[in-house]
Amino acid sequence: MKAHRASRTVTSLVFLIAAVSLCVLACNSTKGISNSQPWSVRMTESVMQRCPEPWMVDFREKPKWEYTEGLTLLAILKVWQATGDKRYFQYANAYYDQFIDDDGKIMTYDLEEYNIDKINPGKPLFRLYQETGIEKYKKATFLLRSQMKTHPRVSEGGFWHKKIYPHQMWVDGLYMASPFLAQFAKTFDEPELFDDVAIQIILMEKHARDEKTGLLYHGWDESRQQRWANPVTGTSPNFWGRGMGWYSMAVVDVLDFLPASHPQRPAIIAILNRLATAIAKYQDKDTGSWYQILDQGGREGNYLESSASTMFVYALIKAVKHQYIPAEFKRVAQKGYDGIIKHFIKVAGDGEVSLTQTCGTAGLGGNPYRDGSYEYYVGEKIRTNDPKAVGPFILASLEFESLSGNESE
């Protein structure tokens, strides 16, 4: 018991020291945000101003190893790469330095929960290890890889979303693990892992795609036991915007690492083209944004939602830049990006940038039970500066800013 209390005391002291250091960093770095800076920098500076400690980016009461932090800090690391400003690297690195001990163990992480969301915060570890050479980052990367070696699967090999959601694949789960595993395969020379990554993407489309709309349902229950599951197809009832956003980002990010010679690469690119076509079809003509429930834009209660919009724009412009999809989709991405800035972005007097109209959370099953109905999705809380929109906005901005003759403001 004494040892346990001592361990908690040391942990608390570590976070206190980090908090003081990061508060100093934030105070010294964000005294007014210039409107002349690129949007990626303006949003990153705003995140650091609002959240002096990186574990605060999802407005938690205490530190947690979670996918939203991983998404935002990955985006901030990419801003560091684009600008060379080491403050951004230091901000992201502070999170991982706090959470990971010298043995590579991760605070608040439990492998045996088999929660696929917990893999996503591992994505920045590759860059951190490459930059610093600190072994604990490599050890933590291998720890997360080990989860996926024993993670439960459906009969065809797809990963369950979580242990507590048996026999189910959700579209959001593809972003959480597949790009991480593809990067692991490339970085640590595990080529057979690429096959596993490819089959996840292919299976999700096979079981969740609706032929009529081209959209993907949020979830698929192989067992057909869930109340939300169609008794014939196993799919959930609706096309949730952010769910498809996660899947779209997963596909385009996996292609960063999947070898050009891999036999399934053409199939993955074909999936991305089908996604782009469906996304473009359901873009709101007036605003360039996308709805919470993608195919029911005119229905009462539905609303234009910022995380789906930022994710789609990121996936589309990146796919165009790499020539995975036809150049005509650049117009769709540009209209979407301009719409985000016009309709969702708010700038305070000191230059701090906020992003509005984000669905706070959405899932299936659980307790209380989430039935996947239209009423459920449109009834979830709407948030401002939710990292699930902020992170993709930074990523999308970086993609536009890297283009020559950028048309965005």
301 dihedral zone (left: phi>0; alpha: psi -120 to 50; beta): left
DSSP for 322-369 reads TTSS-TTHHHHHHHHHHHHHHHTEEE-TT--EEE--EE----SBTTTT
> Cβ neighbours of residue 382 under 8 Å, at least 6 residues apart?
303, 357, 358, 359, 360
Rounded Cα gap, residues 16 and 399, in angstroms: 36
Q: Which residue has the tokens 């990554």?
A: 197
Rounded Cα gap, residues 61 and 58, in angstroms: 9
Q: How many CA atoms lie within 13 A of 373 on its CB side?
A: 8
In the chain, the N- to C-terminal Cα span, in Å, equals 58
397 dihedral zone (left: phi>0; alpha: psi -120 to 50; beta): alpha
DSSP for 109-123 reads --GGG-BGGGGGGGH
- H or E element, residue 22: helix 2-29
Would you name the residues annotated as active-site residues?
Answer: 172
Q: Taking Cα atoms as reference points, which of 299, 325, 174, 313 lies closest to residue 243?
A: 174
Q: For residue 217, report the phi and psi dihedrals to the nearest 5 degrees.
A: -70, 155
Whether 377 and 362 have beta carbons less than 8 Å apart is answered as yes
Q: Taking Cα atoms as reference points, which of 393, 312, 307 lies closest to residue 353?
A: 393
Rounded Cα gap, residues 74 and 395, in angstroms: 9
Whether 178 and 200 have beta carbons less than 8 Å apart is answered as yes
Which structure tokens are listed for 191? 């080529």
